[in-house]
Amino acid sequence: MDVLIAGGLVVLLFVALASGLWIGMALVAVGLVAMGLATSRPVGDSMVLTIWGSTSSWTLTALPLFLWMGEILFRTKLSEDMFRGLAPWMNRLPGRLLHVNVIGSTIFAAVSGSSAATCATIGRIALPELRERGYPESLAVGTLAGAATLGLLIPPSIIMIVYGVAADVSIAKLFVAGIVPGVVLAGLFMGYIIVWSLFNKSKIPAADVDMSLAAKLYASRHLIPVVLLIGGVMGSIYSGVATATEAAAIGVLGSFVLAAVEGSLSWKSFVGGLGAACRVYCMIGLILAGAAFLTLAMGFVGLPRHLAEFITALQLSPFALVIALTLFYLVLGCFLDGISMVVLTIGVLLPTVQAAGFDLIWFGVFTVLLVELAQITPPVGLNLFVLQGLTKHDLTYVARTATPMFLMMLVAALLSYFFQDLILWLPSRM
End-to-end Cα spacing for the chain: 49
Mean pLDDT of 394-420: 89
> Does pLDDT of 254 surpass 60?
yes
Lowest mean pLDDT among 75-84, 163-172, 210-219, 329-338: 75-84
> Does pLDDT of 189 surpass 90?
yes
Q: What is the amino acid identity at position 188?
A: L
CA 233, CA 251: separation in Å to the nearest integer? 6
Is residue 394 exposed (0-12), middle (13-18) or buried (19+ Cβ within 10 Å)? exposed
> Does pLDDT of 384 surpass 70?
yes
> Does pLDDT of 1 surpass 60?
no
Prediction pTM value:
0.72
Reported as a single tens digit per residue, the pLDDT across 99-113 is: 888 887 887 776 666
Nearest to 383 by CA among 142, 102, 64: 142
Residue 422, C-beta contacts closer than 8 angstroms, at least 6 positions apart: 180, 181, 184, 415, 416
Task: Please give the pLDDT value at position 411.
Answer: 92
CA 314, CA 321: separation in Å to the nearest integer? 9
Task: Please give the pLDDT value at position 185.
Answer: 92
- 289 with 54: CB under 8 angstroms? yes
Residue 294, C-beta contacts closer than 8 angstroms, at least 6 positions apart: 27, 28, 30, 31, 34, 335, 336, 380
The HSE-up count of residue 25 (CA atoms within 13 Å, CB side) is 6
- 363 with 10: CB under 8 angstroms? no
Higher per-residue confidence, 405 vs 205 = 405
Reported as a single tens digit per residue, the pLDDT across 316-368 is: 788 888 888 888 888 877 766 677 677 667 766 777 788 778 899 999 999 98
Lowest mean pLDDT among 49-58, 89-98, 137-146: 49-58
Lowest mean pLDDT among 118-132, 256-270, 294-308: 294-308
Task: Please give the pLDDT value at position 303.
Answer: 67
Task: Please give the pLDDT value at position 18.
Answer: 65
| pLDDT tier at 249, thresholds 50, 70, 90 | confident
Average pLDDT over the chain, rounded to an integer? 80
Task: Please give the pLDDT value at position 89.
Answer: 79
Mean pLDDT of 177-196: 91
Task: Please give the pLDDT value at position 261.
Answer: 83
Residue 338, C-beta contacts closer than 8 angstroms, at least 6 positions apart: 115, 152, 159, 371, 372, 374, 375
As a three-state string, the secondary structure of 55-73 is HCCCHHHHHHHHHHHHHHH
Residue 87, C-beta contacts closer than 8 angstroms, at least 6 positions apart: 96, 97, 208, 219
CA torsion, ordered 22, 23, 29, 35, to nearest 10 deg: -160
Mean pLDDT of 369-379: 81
Mean pLDDT of 133-150: 87
- 373 with 337: CB under 8 angstroms? no
Reported as a single tens digit per residue, the pLDDT across 390-404 is: 788 888 888 888 899
> Does pLDDT of 144 surpass 70?
yes
> Does pLDDT of 22 surpass 60?
yes
Q: What is the amino acid identity at position 376?
A: I
Task: Identify the sign of the CA torsion 77, 115, 376, 13.
Answer: negative
CA 60 from chain centre, in angstroms, equals: 14
- 319 with 366: CB under 8 angstroms? no
In this prediction, what percent of the chain has a pLDDT beyond 90?
A: 8
DSSP string, 342-392: HHHHHHHHHHHHHHTT--HHHHHHHHHHHHHHHTTSTTS-HHHHHHHHHH-
Nearest to 348 by CA among 328, 368, 369: 328
> Does pLDDT of 292 surpass 60?
yes
> Does pLDDT of 256 surpass 80?
yes
> Does pLDDT of 92 surpass 80?
no
